[in-house]
Structure 1
């Protein structure tokens, strides 16, 4: 009598333990390798993945979550979803989480404390494994506290609590790099037009710029930093003021790309050749502004996506019980274009 379909024994599905045995690692290491955790050696990760493919292992994500006490979800809480800075940070974080590796819940608090608390409760209600909190600017923000059941990493805006884990752009070094670039192109009379003095980014960039000028044996053209607004209108107004006061300059370092566009408008209208007579440089490397300028604008890129990836890595480390307190400052880079050099 032929065996019915029900009586034919089905092959046993491969398990995580099978993968671990075949790869010669512990079950915990195999799990970390397959889930993309950062604290696994690349050779070990490759060996585990090859073993999983060899025996057609398909992870049971629900069972893994129960065993690990995790849900495979992360909350991204931003205060400025429509802003210039939040989106690339969030994109970098999502890249680090990996396609299909982690589910991401995104909430926009819109700089509203009540809304932020509402979203926080909602995310915790979904039992996320961790939170990344993205600020709308680099000014320190209040901590969410230490009584939360999950680790928190603050990105762009650091927490005021030194025991929290924060990842921010190194704006002081960004100012230093900008001046070093201008000096390297032969500029010696550099003015600085920047944004609101109440913003940490404006003060930090100015501090780095002034320190680099001093190290080069130079003084700031016009004697003082021109603080104002983060707008093209302020860039135009400040440039008119510098010219009317008879300030001699061969470069203007601007606190943002928007300010730089305003500066370049006035210089062009007044007959100055950029960059032959005056070099102009911005911050943020906002492509819509840098590529639209004539000549194209040299700018300091704050590496926002890299910052987001680093915040996600810190999140993984914290989930694994290796949370690092304090503020980590991420490096920036100068993107050279035609507004500072004739070679571009």
Structure 2
């Protein structure tokens, strides 16, 4: 009979360094050296420890590591565009979530460039940040899993399937379906779509939701009414100019994000077209500015601020900090109906 100690643990109890050491067949000190990078370790032992970490879903307590190597009490935040209201709102949530914790965020942009993102992550880890938050971006899940073996990692605004990574994501397909179904319910049948970049997952998923709503309603989609934008106001301007210039008939537009809608709406204003009397518009993100525009914008609300707060809480908890409040909940994605949408006034 095998008399070796059992590695099974109650689900409520996280794995420890000792558990990893037993499964890998090494000493706890060796596991600690691998986690901290404080000394060279034989490659076979490193591979065994990494395999044990993945199997046990072990997350190192970096507050304990900090007692030896010195915690910097900083959280690295890799965003994409510093000027983007979407990312700024998420960073505000992170900052709010860290308030009173003694930890400070260090924010760097990656500009949707995988090479630049990797360089910025290397910069943050060289500064020995205690944890890392990644907003969007194009770092692979495999790379995020590697990072999660070194320090706690959370992602916001992307579906991440990487071992040890906390992922905070909202259903993009469902959000786009809700927006498009709202327009269909108002009687619109010729609905244009200013899409996001096809190279970005969220842009493609929002287009998928647009198509799904039409299929569910038994409606066809005119491919000529789909124009790719770039998630920026300038892209919204160009896309709306293209739609109007082509002479196609349409009565509503689902814009892949609020910033695209803002640009599209400016074109309509300059042409003397009224929203929603002449054309209904729906956005995506529900950025804070949208509710104060004239008229206030109907938009799919992504709870980016709440995701930022939740990511901060998860990382502080992983770092071993005693949390007085329970983990923040992130509401499901939803549609906020305001005044840029109205009934279709043209026959189907």
Superposition TM-score tier, normalisation by shorter sequence = 0.5 to 0.7
Partner of 2:169: 168
Q: TM-score, normalised by structure 1?
A: 0.64
* Aligned residue among 119, 122, 141 for 1:117: 122
Distance 1:246 1:109 in 2: 39
Cα deviation, residue 210, structure 1:
1.0
SS of residue paired to 1:100: coil
Aligned-pair CA distance for 1:160: 6.4
Q: Is the 8 A contact 1:140 1:157 kept in 2?
A: no
Is the alpha carbon distance of 1:196 and 1:158 closer, same or farther for their aligned partners in structure 2, counting shifts above 3 Å?
same
Deviations 1:15-66 (A, max 9, x none): xxxxxxxxxxxxxxxxxxxxxxxxxxxxxxxxxxxxxxxxxxxxxxxxxx77
Rate the CA distance shift 1:234–1:157 in 2: closer, same or farther, 3 A. same
Aligned length: 265
Residue of structure 1 in register with 2:88 after alignment: 87
Note the residue ranges of structure 2 that are not aligned, 5 or more in a row.
Answer: 1-62, 322-328, 344-348
Matched, 1:132 2:129: no
Question: Is contact 1:86–1:134 with CA below 8 Å preserved after alignment?
Answer: no
1:145 and 2:146 equivalent? yes
Q: For each residue in 1:265-304, what CA deviation from the matched residue of structure 2 results, as whole angstroms up to 9, or x when unmatched? A: 3334445432123201112223445534x32322222111
Q: Whole-Å Cα distance in 2 between the matches of residues 275 and 167 of structure 1?
A: 34
How far apart are 1:307 and its partner, in Å? Answer: 0.9
What does the per-residue CA deviation read over 1:133-153, in whole Å, with 9 as the maximum and x for residues that have no partner? Answer: 223547756326157443222
**Distance verdict in 2 for CA 1:71–1:137, change over 3 Å:** closer
State whether residues 192 and 253 of structure 1, in contact with CA within 8 Å, keep that contact through their aligned partners in structure 2. Answer: yes
- Determine if the alignment matches structure 1 residue 202 to structure 2 residue 207: no
Residue deviations 1:216-274 (CA, integer Å, cap 9, x gap) = 22222455531133344433333343334442222111112232233223334445432
Offset at 1:156? 2.6
Q: Distance in 2 between matches of 1:176 and 1:319?
A: 38
User: Structure 2-normalised TM-score?
Assistant: 0.64
Please say if residues 148 and 163 of structure 2, whose CA atoms lie closer than 8 Å, have aligned partners that are also in contact.
no
Who is 1:291 aligned against?
292
More displaced 10-residue stretch of structure 1: 213-222 or 247-256: 213-222
RMSD, aligned CA = 3.5
Give the structure 2 partner of residue 182 of structure 1. 183
Residues 2-23 of structure 1 show CA distances to partners (whole Å, capped at 9, x for unaligned) of xxxxxxxxxxxxxxxxxxxxxx
Q: How far is 1:74 from its partner?
A: 5.0
Deviation at 1:109, TM superposition (A): 5.2
Label 1:107 to 1:274 Cα distance change in 2 as closer, same or farther (>3 A): closer
The equivalent of 2:313 in structure 1 is 313
